[in-house]
A and B are shown apart, each in its own frame.
Chain A
Amino acid sequence: MSFDFLWQGFGVALLPQNLLIGLIGCFLGTMIGALPAIGPINGIALLLPIAYTAGLPPESTLILLAGVYYGAEYGGRISSILLNVPGDAGAVMTALDGYPMARRGEATKALAISGISSFIGGILAVVGMTFLAVPLSWLAIKFGPAEYFVLMVFAFATLGSMVGHEPAKTLIGCVLGLMLTTIGLDATSGAYRFTFEQAELHDGIEFIILVIGLFSISEVLLMLEHQLKGTLRPLAVSGAYPSWADIRFIWWPSVRATVIGFVIGVLPGTGASVASAVSYTTEKRLNDKEGTFGTGDMRGLAAPEAANNAAATGAFVPMLTLGVPGSGTTAVMLGALMLYNIQPGPQLFVEQPKLVGGLIASMYVGNLLLLVMNLPLVQLFARVLLMPNWILIPGITALSILGVYSAYASVMSVLIMFGIGVAGYLLRKLGFDMAPIILGFVLGRVMEVNLRNALALSGGDPGILFASPLAIILWIMAGAIVILPWWLRRRARPTAVPAA
């Protein structure tokens, strides 16, 4: 395959009109991503008909929509880091280390680090996509229910790293998350589980509602408690940017996370939330020797951010080469292609070099624009923390309600959010972490559905879980991630003197 499409693509992407469109997309995306509950899918659904009626050519429309999409991946982190309120599903893990950094007064640094690691993840994934899109599409085809199930086994194996000082509590949290995923329509039998004849519960608890409840509402309750007790200490905000040493420090974690995120993004059955979760737990498993993850470790912030952006890019691979969307957002974009009568498939790269090339080139340009646009804005965003609590506490509450209500248009969703929030507050008072609950929830559903589908296909024979080479490789990886860190530590202990 030649790469003519890329040169043609830069010709398209660098047209002043398309540059401007890309910039608008990136900016809108950042804003949309920053608002809780409202994600890129809502923004894109809103912009698509406008672009279509405005008579934009297909490549410009795609550039606009793609700009919103990865703009949102950058924007989702802002409230995550500053307020512990994830702006979208992929930004949950960002809060784990980003928020403690902000509490330490390093909000500017945290935001800049996440911008830089997002850039690393985004740009490396685009490079990956440029050269590997067509060959990688077989991976999406080869992944059947059995392989997805083993992938989830691998993900749970990385979860071992989340077991902190209180393994029982981590386990309970994880099981709570697993239990919550069983609410709603059982995708295999079509039966409703734990819905109490409420139509609002038929689809189960929305991930983003769970996230906003557990993180932002419980955070608000904690802040209120501290406010009443008078123990809320004012925050300092240092304007310092990360140093080159910091960037070198996060480089390898970001690169590893990019690979994980990109591959998981390419698989149509998993998305950015799984990607950021797995990359975080993998990084913690491999690197958390001093136990600093979760207390504001830059690597714990960089890994999920890089993975999240890489997954967003990876999701384009099955969409363009197979016509199978890798995420909800790319599903809407696929609809856009159909509107323009463009049929996705491997031959798209040959038949529509202007379109595919333009899209890919715009991703290079867009990631650069986002980095340049974000770094100066970071100072501004960080000042949010200097707002007095009588604005901040009601502000977070109002944003949460508004976000959930506008995304799901039901009072029930808002009530569920508050219910979860109160439960989250109590759990936090009891010393539970929120992350295992979220991870159990994210991974549990994919795991259950695929296990049951795999067994349905094999007629109940569990041999299908070990039948393909891919599945066996994944089993080996899952075994390795459990054994390797333990083995490495054992080997290192007798010889190495622990470095400071």
Chain B
Amino acid sequence: MIRSRISATLSSAMLSLAAAALAAGTAAAQPAKTECLAGAKPGGGFDLTCRLAGAALHATKLIKDPMAVSYMEGGVGAVAYNHVVGTRPGDSGLVVAASSGSALLIAQGKFGKHDENAVRWVGALGADFGVIAVAPDSPIKTLKDLVAAYGKDPGAFPIGGGGAVGSQDWMKMALLAKEAKADPKKMRYAALEGGGAVTTALQGGHIKIAAGDASEMIALHEQGKLRILAVMSERRLPGRFKDIPTTFEQGYTIDWPIWRGLYVGPKVSDADYNWWVDTLKKLKDSPEFIKEREARGLFAFDSIGADFEKRVKTDVARFKQLAKEAGL
């Protein structure tokens, strides 16, 4: 692939340039054998996944040469998925970033003709969790208030999320509407452009309820710009989240982990697949990895190898069920 070759050569050229210019100690660039494919523009979640894997693998010396990151934009990973299955199914050095969002798209048939069995799922690197937030002065103080309000009239207040109807953010709100036996399709839901737009719209009063991810909301919660009603997780999250109640604590058995992980092509041999699985297993408890993971706002999420395969398949089945129930 031209792109990765360009970036590899450019990276090494710039690396030596930067090293020379700044007299900073960096290892000499060696020819890269591993590559992480992000199925989107630089800067998004797939990019973050690839960079986390690359930085940690290199820091722990589990791979000799730095891993190259390449980008293949299109259909939130759909183009990359089809590319790997169709063009590079046996490339053992290629891992591809995926997330629970990919499972949702597969469940909705938006990854083309391939289903979740078309690739080999290697493992999760970490997870973020869904949150529901309101403005600090909102009359809605708990999840119970929200469900009660839904029960009265699901179309009474404007809601915003970072994705279209049927996306993860929409699903989070739909699950709560379902708790109130309300029709999710009656929600006044606006599909805004990503998490930043959602928190801005909440602060500006354009929406009253926001669905999003924990890591992008916590700082604003601490600054008192918004209030997180609940983290959509079974267990309380550590650290900055230790005072925020979960959905389970408030009596709703709904969780929404947003896992981030990797897959390889379908024709990668068992030996090569197992090497990746073992490497991730070694990686997950290393202090280097934990530091890099936390720097990117991700929580521990243990699911590697066969366990991860199972996780993805259960998720796809669950999402299919959800979409049917929500009437999509």
Seen from chain A, the residues whose Cβ lies within 8 Å of a Cβ on chain B are 17, 20-21, 24, 28, 41-42, 44-47, 49-56, 140-146, 185-190, 192, 197, 199-200, 202-203, 206, 268-269, 318, 322-325, 328, 331-332, 335, 338-339, 341, 343, 345, 402, 405-410, 449, 453-454, 456-459
Contacts and interface: CB of A to CB of B under 8 A. Distances in A.
B190 interface: yes
B327 interface: no
A233 to B, nearest CB: 36
Given A199-B74, A203-B75, A406-B3, A56 B200 contact: no
Given A140-B200, A141-B203, A187-B193, A199 B112 contact: yes
29 contacts: A41-B42, A46-B7, A56-B24, A141-B204, A142-B204, A145-B192, A185-B75, A188-B164, A189-B165, A189-B166, A190-B165, A190-B167, A190-B191, A199-B79, A202-B110, A203-B73, A206-B73, A322-B196, A322-B200, A324-B197, A328-B43, A335-B43, A339-B295, A408-B72, A409-B71, A410-B72, A453-B192, A456-B190, A458-B158
B289 interface: no
Nearest to B15: A50
Contacts of B193: 187, 269, 449
B22 A268 contact: no
A269 B43 contact: no
B11 A50 contact: yes
Nearest to A333: B43
A44 B43 CA distance: 10
Interface string B69-110: 111111110110111000000000000000000000000001
B18 interface: yes
4 closest A-B pairs by CB: A45-B42, A202-B75, A144-B206, A190-B164
Contacts of B62: none
Interface in B143-181: 155, 158, 160, 163-167, 170
Interface stretch (B47-55, B227-235, B246-254): B47-55
Contacts of B43: 41, 45, 328, 331-332, 335
A144 B42 contact: no
Interface residues of B, number: 72
Contacts of B191: 187-188, 190, 449, 453, 456
Contacts of A185: 75, 164
Nearest to B204: A141
Contacts of B295: 338-339, 341
Nearest to A188: B191
B197 A268 contact: yes
A332 B207 contact: no
B72 A409 contact: yes
Nearest to B79: A199
A262 to B, nearest CB: 18
Contacts of B189: 456
A146 B205 CA distance: 12
B306 interface: no
Interface of B: 1-3, 6-7, 10-11, 14-15, 17-19, 21-22, 24-26, 41-43, 47-48, 51, 54-55, 69-76, 78-79, 81-83, 110-112, 155, 158, 160, 163-167, 170, 188-193, 196-197, 199-201, 203-207, 219-220, 223, 295-297
A203 B21 CA distance: 40
A49 B51 contact: yes
Contacts of B112: 197, 199
Given A41-B43, A46-B10, A409-B70, A145 B190 contact: yes
Contacts of B220: 323
Contacts of A49: 51, 54-55, 69
Nearest to B19: A54
A456 B14 CA distance: 48
A364 to B, nearest CB: 22
B196 A268 contact: yes
A336 B112 CA distance: 34
Contacts of B24: 54-56
Contact of B2 (A188, A325, A406, A453): A406
B42 A332 contact: yes
Contact of A24 (B17, B55, B190, B219): B17
Nearest to A339: B295
Contacts of B48: 335
B43 to A, nearest CB: 4
Contact of B166 (A47, A140, A190, A269): A190
Contacts of A449: 191, 193
Contacts of B170: 190
B27 to A, nearest CB: 9
A442 B236 CA distance: 44
A15 to B, nearest CB: 12
A452 to B, nearest CB: 8
Contacts of B204: 141-144
Given A41-B43, A146-B206, 19 more contacts: A49-B51, A54-B19, A56-B22, A140-B200, A141-B203, A190-B166, A190-B167, A197-B112, A199-B81, A199-B111, A200-B74, A202-B79, A322-B203, A323-B196, A323-B219, A324-B200, A335-B43, A409-B73, A456-B188
A56 to B, nearest CB: 7
User: Which of A52, A322, A454 gathers the greatest number of chain B CB atoms within 10 Å?
Assistant: A322
A192 B164 CA distance: 11
A473 B206 CA distance: 18
A417 to B, nearest CB: 14
B190 A200 contact: no
Nearest to A47: B14
Contacts of A45: 42-43, 47, 71
